Amino acid sequence: MPEQVMFTPAALNEPWGQKIFERVQSLNLPIKELSHNRLTGLRGQDDRQTYNIAKRTLAVVTAPPSHFKLSPIPPSADWQFHIAEGCPAHCQYCYLAGSLSGPPVIRTFANLPQILENLTTYERPEQLTTYEVSCYTDPLGIEHLTGSLAECIRHFGTRSNAHLRWVSKFDAVDNLLDLPHNGHTHCRMSVNAAPISMKFEGGTASVASRLGALRKLADSGYQIGLVIAPIMPIDDWQVHYSRLFNLISEALDINCHLTFELISHRFTPGSKEVLQTWYPQSKLDMDEEKRLIKRHKFGGIKYVYDVDTMKVMKRFFQSEIQQRFPNAEILYWT
Ligand code: SF4
C-alpha cells in the first residue's frame, strides 16, 4: 500500500482515473489532488529519502503522447506498451534502474482506454501480434490499486489476433482468475534461486507464493510461463537452481505447456550508478573486471558474463528443463 496517492488534474478528468480514485478512496489511502499536471514534492533531503518517498507514492497521471508510438521488444514480444511506470518492490538488480529516470515514483496511467484502443492499430490482419506490458512496471504489484491489468486482459480477450504478455514477482492473482481472457493472455512469474531471491528481491512475494499463483492462473486456463532472471553463477549455483526446478515441479503440472525465458544478469554503467544510489549496501556483484563488454547497435554498452560461463549456464538450464518438463518450450536464453 502506498503512503500517498497523487492525482493530476488531467488524470481526474479521465473516467479510468475516476475509477482508480474510487478504488484508492475505498482503501482509505491518503489522496493528494495536484493543482497541475507535473509531479512535485517527491525530493527528500538526500538520495535515500527521495527513494523512500518516491517508492511509497503512487501517482495517477496520463500517459504522454510519446507512449502512443509503440516500440518493438524482441525477443519477448512484437510490441511493448505501458499501463504504468515504476514498481513498489525493492530488487537490488532492478532493470528499471537503467530504463526510467528520476525518483522511482510509481506512475499509473489514467487514459487506459485510449492506450488499449491505440494497440489495435498495430495488429496485423492475418497474423498473431503480441504485446508485452511489463517492461516498465510489475503490473500485478499495483493491480489492487488500479485494476488496469484486469482491464488489459479483458481487452485482449476480445481481440482475435492479439495476445497479451505480463510477468510479475507478486502473487495476488485471485481477481484475475474469472476474467474472460479467452486464452489470449500469457502470464509469467519471474523466479530465481533462493539465495538470490532472498537476498536481493525486497518487497516481493516469496518464490513459492509466485509459483502457487501461477498454478491458479494455469488452472483458470491462462497460458503460463516462467522467467528465470537474473541468472547468476553464485557459489553452488547448480545446486540452488536445481532446487528451484524442484519447487517448480512441485507447484505446477510438469506436463503442462510451460514457457521458459532465461535471462542472465547484466548491467550498464547507467544502471549500476542508479542502483548504487538506491542500494548503497548491496552485495550484488557488478564488478566490470569480471565481465565482458557487449555493445548494442545504438552505441551503448552492457556488462555480461564471459562466453564460457554463459555456455555452461545455458547448457545446464536447457538440460534441466528438457529432462524435467516434457512439454516446456524455451523461448530464449540471453
Ligand atoms: S519486481 Fe521487477 S520492477 Fe519491481 S523492483 Fe523487482 S525487478 Fe524491479
Q: What is the DSSP string of 209-221?
A: HHHHHHHHHHHTT
Instruction: Domain 4-333: state its class.
Output: alpha beta
Q: How far is the CA of 127 from the centre of ligand 1 (A)?
A: 32
Q: How far is the CA of 259 from the centre of ligand 1 (A)?
A: 20
Q: How far is the CA of 175 from the centre of ligand 1 (A)?
A: 21
Which atom from ligand 1 is nearest to the alpha carbon of 89? 5
Q: Give domain limits for the chain.
A: 4-333
Q: How far is the CA of 90 from the centre of ligand 1 (A)?
A: 6
pLDDT value, residue 252: 98
Tell me the best of 93, 190, 192, 204 to mutate to test the pocket of ligand 1, counting ligand atoms within 8 Å of each CB and taking the most: 204
Task: Answer yes or no: are the C-beta atoms of 197 and 169 closer than 8 Å.
Answer: no
pLDDT value, residue 99: 87
Per-10-residue mean pLDDT of the chain, 334 residues long, equals: 98 98 98 95 91 97 97 95 97 92 94 98 95 98 98 98 98 98 98 98 98 98 98 98 98 96 97 95 97 89 97 98 97 97
In the chain the first and final C-alpha atoms are separated, in Å, by: 34
pLDDT value, residue 186: 98
pLDDT value, residue 330: 98
Q: How far is the CA of 302 from the centre of ligand 1 (A)?
A: 19
Q: How far is the CA of 85 from the centre of ligand 1 (A)?
A: 11
How many helical (H) and strand (E) elements, i.e. helices and strands, does the chain have?
11, 17
Helix (H) or strand (E) holding 238: helix 237-251
Which atom from ligand 1 is nearest to the alpha carbon of 170? 1
Tell me the best of 82, 85, 169 to mutate to test the pocket of ligand 1, counting ligand atoms within 8 Å of each CB and taking the most: 169
Helix (H) or strand (E) holding 312: helix 307-324
Which atom from ligand 1 is nearest to the alpha carbon of 87? 4
| CA-atom Rg of the chain in angstroms | 20
Q: Where are the alpha helices (DSSP H) in 27-166?
A: 47-55, 112-119, 143-146, 148-157
pLDDT value, residue 41: 87
Q: Please provide residue 41's backbone torsions phi and psi, each rounded to the nearest 5 degrees.
A: 80, 20
Residues having CB within 6 Å of any atom of ligand 1? 87, 89, 91, 94-96, 138, 169, 204
d(CA 314, CA 187): 23
* Nearest-CA residue for atom 6 of ligand 1: 91
d(CA 297, CA 286): 23
